[in-house]
Amino acid sequence: MTREPGASFDGFGLGLRPPHYQQFLTEHVPVDFVEVISENFMIDGGRPRYILDQMRERMPVALHGVSMSVGSSDGLDLDYLARLKALVDHVDPLFVSDHLCWTRIDGFNSHDLLPLPYTDEALDLVCANISQAQDVLQRQMLIENPSTYLQFLDETMTEWQFLDVLCDRTGCALLLDVNNIFVSAVNHGFDPIAYLDGIPADRVRQIHLAGHSQGRDRLIDTHDKPVPPPVWALYAASRHRIPSVATMIERDDDIPPLADLLDELDIAREIACEGERQAA
């Protein structure tokens, strides 16, 4: 069906962001991979594509999308898919991922990761869209659990049950965002450990770590702060269940010096090592 590159990759990486381009190109940065936002490089040319090519010569690159809209009831955008396919063929990325969400309906694109109702109808639709994407891309996709700020009245399953069936029916894998689990667990009052126990651990290929902010009534997934202690604790719990997986820090706003992110990545390495020691 589809290629499954990166299935045994368990390195540590960072999201590649413009303030750090120069250091990545001119210094040795101790990471095993970088992840880029796919859409930022689905362009005809210019410096961003040059940077991407340079990075690809140095280390594996993961492509992380925000606009596939696998939950759109009017299907995938074929122009988008063709452009992503061209980028995938050019980069030969470690992973190709996007979010369990929808962004687009009837030609309107919110550019926000909007929540899906976890119903049989949505599950059928998302399965069909992901299968189509994997067929076009000729490779397995990783689907990321989103942070959500509301739940719908007619939901018939939990998010982790939805993801479990999704993996089973499409052959896709998971990008587990541990911060998103924490944010949604606090916002909706579920047990994050039950979430970890409910997902198919053997399908998790990559983990995102990030920070969040306290809004007036909800935690908000802002990616503008260091990874906080409760997210580190949840990461430790996840590594007990998922011993071999790629991990990265995802920082998108108030981006600190690269050294700060590398320090955070060292914490992740220590937690992963501790998990391995305990497992042994």
Partner 1 sequence: MTLATLQRSFRNWLTDVPVAMEVWVDGDARAGLDIYHNAYRVQLVECLKDTFEKTLLWIGDDAFINAARTHIEQTPPSGWTLGVYGKGFDQTLASLYPDDPEVAELAWLDWALSRAFECADCVPVAADALTAVDWDQAVLVLIPSIQTGLARTNAGAIWSALEAELTPPDATLLPTPGTMLVWRKDFTPCFRTIEAIEQVALEMVGSGSSFTALCMSLIEQLGSEAGIAQAGAMLAEWIDQGLILAINQPEK
Binding footprint of partner 1 on the chain (CB under 8 A):
39, 42-50, 67, 71-74, 77, 79-80, 102, 104-112, 114, 116-117, 119, 121-122, 125, 148-154, 187, 215-218, 220
Contact yes or no for 15/21 (Cβ under 8 A):
no
Which tokens in the block code for residue 114? 């909007």
Minimum distance of partner 1 from residue 274's CB (angstroms): 35
Q: How far is the CB of 62 from partner 1 (least distance, A)?
A: 19
Nearer residue to partner 1 within complex by CB, 147 or 247: 147
* Complex with partner 1: residue 119 or 132, whichever CB lies closer: 119
Q: What is the DSSP letter of 41?
A: G
Max Cα–Cα distance, the chain, nearest Å: 53
Q: CB of 41: closest distance to partner 1 in angstroms?
A: 9
Let me know: does 206 contact 176? Beta carbons within 8 Å. Answer: yes
Nearer to partner 1, 44 or 57 (CB): 44
Q: Using the CB atoms, write b or e for 223-255: b if 16+ within 10 Å.
A: bbebbeeebbebbbbbbebbeebbbbbbbeeeb
Contact criterion met (CB below 8 Å) for 56 and 27: no
Nearer to partner 1 by C-beta: 187 or 238?
A: 187
How far apart are CB 167 and partner 1 at their closest, in Å?
Answer: 20
Q: Kindly calculate the radius of gyration of the chain based on its CA atoms and give it in whole angstroms.
A: 18
- Give the count of alpha carbons within 13 A of 45, CB side only: 0
Q: Which is nearer to partner 1, 26 or 277 (CB)?
A: 26
Q: How far is the CB of 190 from partner 1 (least distance, A)?
A: 14
Across-strand partners of 102? Answer: 114
Could you tell me which of 261, 273, 100 has the C-alpha nearest to residue 177? 100
In the bound state with partner 1, the residue whose beta carbon lies nearer, of 120 and 135, is 120
Residue 260 · residue 25 · CB < 8 Å: no
Give 215 or 257: the residue with its C-beta nearer to partner 1.
215
CB of 45 to partner 1, least distance (A): 4
Q: What's the min distance (Å) between Cβ of 36 and partner 1?
A: 14
- In our burial notation (b when 16+ CB lie closer than 10 A, e otherwise), range 140-170 reads bbbbbbbbbbebeeeeebbbbebbbebbeeb
